[in-house]
């Protein structure tokens, strides 16, 4: 390709614009003459709308897969994980192996979850079996902690349905929810609940090829955790989302309530031991791998597409990690200087993978999946099914690289 690459974005985020400019690329306006487009999910939906008849050119890259929501919408993610479990069991695949108590060894990655209104009867049945359990309600299509609340009584659900004018049996429910068993025994540090934000870059689903970023972080609540029913509505205790926590009087804008993965790992090794810590982080890698395999067969694998997912992982007091959700557009706003540096390098390394310096001429026709390196900046290649035995890869229980964060 002659001349400089042309870029376009829907986001005026400094970390995106600066990285484009540092590559010496040229910004495009509102036309379709672009090579790399960092688009919103709404724009991607319009691009792949069958009615528009639009097709991406050989030398164009887009930052979302057409139906990314199979992984990033809460209800569809759980649906795909459940389907994947059944398929693996039917095949007698070792990935579906269970322990003596009937629990999956490798596929027990998400808390028990039901979709509402569709699974309401099933949920009630489960609720009545464990009436002391706490549950968390989340709208399937919202982010940043919006619309989330906790329940421990069926009457709370009925009241919510009446107030929102959304009876559970209504087929016209405009905003579906998921309800998941609340993990009421989270691992606490300094008495506070936290979760992990990890970045995973997928450049192909079939064959699967993905990378993990080593500079993830823990996000802490500002107030100490308690399971006291009187604090059921206190989101500063229960939700780690920065969009919520930054409104707390206890919020510290110097560190943004965040802790690096390296610091977390060091702390866990000192308090829980290296063996248990290693097992915990191996299980986190397994969660990422199994969740991507769960959607592999349903994802539209357009070679022009890549996607950086924001994985949210919660660790319980037994050091078992759980997948809470996967974000299609993880926040690129910086809450502190370390946060800004992290996200600047994140976008820089993504560009180096999907559009390496040699991405010109014939190589650009390979789409977003032309990088042949195993380490690019802070990204480590975790799985490349194109370069391993197909049958072996299909029956793998874990990703190939087990040295992440070590």
Give pLDDT tens digits for 326-349.
999 998 988 788 889 999 999 999
Residues 336 and 255: beta-carbon distance below 8 Å: yes
> Tokens in use for 392?
């072996």
Cα dihedral 403, 202, 378, 74 sign: negative
How far is it, in rounded angstroms, from Cα 175 to Cα 100? 39
pLDDT at 227: 80
pLDDT at 266: 97
Residues 6+ apart with CB under 8 A from 206: 296, 299, 301
Over residues 19-53, the pLDDT tens digits come to 999 999 999 877 778 999 999 999 999 999 888 77
pLDDT at 248: 62
Residue 66's nearest CA partner among 103, 41, 95 is: 41
Over residues 190-201, the pLDDT tens digits come to 999 999 999 999
| Bridging pattern class, strands 258-260 and 217-220 | antiparallel
Residues 6+ apart with CB under 8 A from 259: 189, 194, 217, 218, 220
Q: Does the reported pTM lie above 0.85? A: yes
Task: Report whether pLDDT(392) > 50.
Answer: no
Q: What is the mean pLDDT of the chain?
A: 86
| Bridging pattern class, strands 192-205 and 208-213 | antiparallel
pLDDT band at 166 (very low <50, low <70, confident <90, very high): very low
Residue 58's nearest CA partner among 304, 302, 301 is: 304
Over residues 214-271, the pLDDT tens digits come to 999 999 888 888 887 766 667 777 777 766 766 666 656 666 688 999 999 999 999 9
Residues 17 and 23: beta-carbon distance below 8 Å: no
pLDDT at 151: 87
Over residues 86-96, the pLDDT tens digits come to 999 999 999 99
Residue 194's nearest CA partner among 183, 205, 186 is: 186
pLDDT at 184: 84
């Amino acid at each position: 390709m002659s001349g400089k690459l042309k870029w376009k974005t829907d986001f005026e985020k400094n970390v995106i614009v600066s990285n484009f400019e540092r590559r010496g690329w040229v910004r495009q306006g509102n036309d379709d003459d672009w090579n790399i487009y960092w688009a919103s999910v709404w724009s991607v939906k319009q691009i792949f709308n069958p009615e528009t008849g639009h097709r991406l050119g050989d030398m164009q890259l887009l930052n979302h897969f057409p139906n990314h929501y199979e992984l990033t919408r809460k209800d569809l993610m759980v649906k795909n994980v459940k389907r994947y479990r059944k398929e693996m069991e039917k095949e007698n695949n070792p990935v579906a192996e269970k322990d003596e108590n009937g629990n999956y060894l490798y596929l027990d990655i998400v808390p028990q979850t039901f979709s509402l209104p569709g699974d309401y009867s099933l949920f009630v049945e489960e609720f009545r079996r464990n009436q002391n359990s706490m549950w968390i309600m989340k709208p399937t299509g919202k982010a940043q902690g919006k619309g989330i609340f906790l329940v421990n009584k069926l009457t709370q659900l009925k009241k919510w349905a009446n107030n929102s004018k959304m009876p559970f049996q209504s087929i016209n429910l405009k905003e579906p929810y998921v309800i998941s068993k609340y993990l009421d025994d989270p691992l606490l540090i300094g008495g506070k609940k936290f979760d992990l934000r990890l970045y995973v870059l997928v450049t192909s689903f079939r064959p699967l090829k993905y990378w993990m970023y080593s500079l993830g972080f823990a996000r802490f609540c500002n107030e100490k955790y308690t399971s006291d029913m009187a604090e059921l509505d206190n989101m500063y205790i229960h939700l780690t989302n920065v969009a919520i926590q930054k409104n707390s009087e206890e919020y510290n804008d110097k560190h943004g309530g965040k802790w690096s993965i390296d610091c977390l790992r060091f702390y866990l090794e000192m308090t829980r031991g290296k063996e248990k810590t290693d097992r915990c982080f191996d299980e986190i890698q397994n969660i990422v791998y199994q969740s991507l395999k769960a959607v592999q067969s349903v994802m539209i694998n357009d070679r022009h597409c890549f996607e950086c997912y924001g994985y949210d992982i919660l660790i319980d007091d037994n050091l078992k990690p759980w997948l809470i959700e996967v974000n299609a557009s993880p926040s690129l706003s910086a809450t502190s200087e370390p946060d800004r540096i992290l996200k600047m390098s994140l976008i820089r390394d993504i560009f180096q993978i999907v559009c390496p310096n040699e991405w010109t001429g014939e190589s650009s026709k390979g789409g977003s999946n032309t990088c042949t390196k195993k380490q690019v900046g802070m990204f480590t290649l975790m799985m490349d099914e194109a370069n391993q035995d197909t049958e072996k890869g299909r029956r793998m229980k874990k990703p190939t690289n087990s040295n992440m964060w070590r």
